[in-house]
Amino acid sequence: MKKMLVTGSGGLIGSESVRFFSEKGFEIHGIDNNMRAYFFGKDASTEWSVKELKKNIPNYVHHDVDIRNKEGIEKIFKKYKFDLIVHTAAQPSHDWAAREPYTDFEVNAHGTLVMLENFRNYCPKAVFIFTSTNKVYGDTPNILPIVELESRFEIDVRHPFYKGIDESMSIDHSKHSIFGASKCAADIMVQEYGRYFNLKTAVFRGGCLTGPNHSGAELHGFLAYLGKCIATGKQYTIFGYKGKQVRDNIHSYDLVNAFWHFYKKPRIAEVYNMGGGRHSNISMKEAIEKFEKITGKKANIKYIKQNRIGDHIWYISDVSKFQRHYPKWNFKYGIDDIMHEICKYGHF
């Protein structure tokens, strides 16, 4: 039986990876110590998710270990020889990172280095997949020729990035946020381990990753948290840009399915922008209106004029590079499917 290690196994992408790959016959080892509750409070806890995995996935083994714990992680790698590592554990909020930069960098950058070193030392023939972020591009997307429409911002249709931002965008000369910088360090290190040591690594720079299993919180998980607020009557705060900021949203299943395609035909030190693209994107304003229609409830919205530092006005991923490399992969879920699932199955 193939063996797989998933960090952040209680989170959105981690738990989706466990379920997906268990159906492919993998013995799966998950690492999750519920730091999401420390970051965002008890409502964002992943404890419920880990309990479900332990109960429902017979070939799942859980390890309550911090990814920064070099001795603890090494002990796992020494005992089990993994064929695949999916590293999703992270501090995921650019707002929270500014509160505790040491913690943010230790989790995102140092934690990734711990994983990479053990991968290199104990299972170098394995495939290493890392969930990065579009925040590695900093606020560079905001210098694109942005046009204001009635319900959203867009970019000029004649611009090469109209179909989405590809991997050619520079990560230099921009404001990343502390979180963006720590993820950038990890992102580059994953690439470097691929190139320098000739290892099979992939970086997936995600747009908004979402789905009904997301433990959405104010500082992370915009779509799931918005759906939760509207469904329960809780106040939701919009930070700047008139609520017209645009994000592409990819369902956790579609992202993990991309991991599967990469695993079957891995490459060295690849980087992919991965989001909903033109297939699945929405503005804050559009999302509020759509959730109101789905739930039949009126949103309780608070608007703050000041946007979050370094926040994107418009971001849509161009996923065509991945589709060229893996033409059999495609989206299963669109934005309407995602939002209906969140309302029907979300953990409110």
**In the chain, where the domains are located:** 3-345
Which residue in 95, 79, 302 sits closest to 178, CA to CA?
95
The answer to whether the beta carbons of residues 338 and 223 sit under 8 Å apart is: yes
Which residue in 72, 71, 57, 47 sits closest to 27, CA to CA?
57
Which residue in 11, 27, 3, 34 sits closest to 255, CA to CA?
11
Residue type, 348: F
Residue 94 confidence (pLDDT): 85
Tell me whether residue 29 is exposed, middle or buried, using C-beta atoms within 10 angstroms of its C-beta: 0 to 12, 13 to 18, 19 or more. buried
Tokens of 151: 């319900």
Phi, psi angles (nearest 5°) of residue 129: -115, 130
Instruction: For domain 3-345, give the fold.
Output: Rossmann fold (3.40.50)
pTM: predicted TM-score of the whole model, two decimal places: 0.96
The answer to whether the beta carbons of residues 273 and 166 sit under 8 Å apart is: yes
Q: How far is CA 24 from the centre of its chain?
A: 22
Residue 285 confidence (pLDDT): 97
Contacts of residue 223, defined as CB under 8 A and 6 or more positions apart, other chains included, come to: 208, 210, 214, 216, 247, 249, 282, 287, 338, 339, 342
Alpha carbons 204 and 273: distance in angstroms, whole number: 6
Within the chain, strands assigned E span 3-7, 27-31, 60-63, 84-87, 127-133, 146-148, 153-155, 200-206, 208-210, 236-239, 246-251, 270-274, 281-283, 301-304, 314-315
Which residue in 312, 274, 283 sits closest to 140, CA to CA?
312
Residues facing 84 on adjacent strands: 4, 127
SS3 69: coil
Phi-psi category of residue 263: left, alpha or beta, with phi > 0 → left and psi -120 to 50 → alpha? alpha
Alpha carbons 43 and 206: distance in angstroms, whole number: 24
Tokens of 332: 């299963």
CB environment 167-177: b (16+ within 10 A), e (fewer): bebebeebebb
* Residues of the chain predicted below pLDDT 70: 215-217, 219-221, 347-348
